[in-house]
Amino acid sequence: MPVYLYWGDDTYRLMQAVQQLRDQVLDPHWAAFNYDRLPPESTIAGLNQAMTPPLGSTARLVWLEETTLTQHCPEDLWEEVERTLAQLPPTTHLLLTTSNKPDGRLKSTKILKKTAIVREFSQLAPWDEEGILQQVQREAQQRNLDLSAEAAQTLAEAVGNDTRRLAMELEKLDLFTAGQRDPISSEQIAVLVPASAYNSFQLAGSLRKGNLEQALRILTHLLDQNEPALKILAVLVGQFRTWLWVRLLLDQGERDPKVIAQKAEIGNPNRVYFLQKEVGSLKTTALLKAMQQLLQLEYNLKQGQPERDAFQEALIQIAAILQKS
């Protein structure tokens, strides 16, 4: 009676895992008769179907999609789930998926974690540059694609945390570089992979690294894609404000990630590790001046100055400030 609980907001990877499970357990000749995909309001119907022997085959797969059992589960419904789990035939594979993190305080979640094979498919945060780079390298290795270190970095910057886009671009690279002996270069990535996944977090990151050319390129892309100027600015202000807080606290000798997260209003304390590395070479005075430039940019935009010109001038000023730090 295999039971599976897949959860996370990386829909692409989660759906891939569902398809792999489907291919693994179902006889393709009888899949149409032994595969049930049910919405959350049909939980009882799904549990009843899970008790049904497979037709003409050795296995049945019942998928309760976007289940609410790990978020809120009425007592009467959970009693039905418990009865089903206790009597589930060995020929049934019961799969529960949800984009939300299971609530560990619930009785239903605790029991499912004990009885089910649990897999997490959470999307990496846009600011987790190191994690995104490792994801690119890992996926490339699985496809036997040899990327140079520079190429992996360029691809990571182009696709960001979009795993669906990453898979598509790696397939493209595999096709266009078939038979190539040398590692795929950064120049090939730049030609073959349009950087349509650029976002405001990468714009902030380019500024922090002093890469003005890349920052202006990302800005041009964002504005060409009709990204609202004030929305871009809000991300930049948020990033630089966080960097400033972390730098200030480090200067004061604070090293506890939980304390830093609380004072800097960082939702995930695990992010502090990455932030400490990001601000390592930056000075507090430089970050303060950069914040002043961003506030001036906000004033200029709200006064009706042309978005592109106002942004470019501000980015040039900020890059110069940070390079001097």
Nearest of 221, 222, 220, 243 to residue 294 by alpha carbon = 243
Task: Enter the tokens of residue 146.
Answer: 């040899």
Are 322 and 210 spatial neighbours (Cβ–Cβ below 8 Å)? yes
The predicted pLDDT at position 293 comes to: 96
- Half-sphere exposure in the Cβ direction for 179 (13 Å, CA): 1
Nearest of 255, 258, 244 to residue 287 by alpha carbon = 244
Nearest of 292, 260, 259, 294 to residue 278 by alpha carbon = 260
Amino acid at 128: D
Instruction: Count H helices and E strands in the chain, helices first.
Output: 16, 5
Q: Rounded to the nearest 5 degrees, what angle is found at the Cα of 9, between the Cα atoms of 16 and 157?
A: 85
Are 110 and 81 spatial neighbours (Cβ–Cβ below 8 Å)? no
The predicted pLDDT at position 198 comes to: 66
**Domain map (residue ranges) of the chain:** 3-120, 129-192, 200-324
Amino acid at 187: E
pTM of the model: 0.70
Residue 172 in this model has a pLDDT that exceeds 70: yes
Cα separation of 109 and 103, whole Å?
A: 6
Tens of pLDDT, residue by residue over 225-275, are 888 899 899 989 999 999 999 999 999 999 999 999 999 888 778 888 888
Mean pLDDT of the residues in the chain: 90
Fold classified for 3-120: Rossmann fold (3.40.50)
The CATH architecture to which 129-192 belongs is Orthogonal Bundle (1.10)
* Topology agreement, domain 129-192 and domain 200-324: no
Are 300 and 308 spatial neighbours (Cβ–Cβ below 8 Å)? no
Cα separation of 127 and 262, whole Å?
A: 18
Fold classified for 200-324: Zinc Finger, Delta Prime; domain 3 (1.20.272)
Q: How many CB atoms are located within 10 Å of the residue 322 CB? A: 21
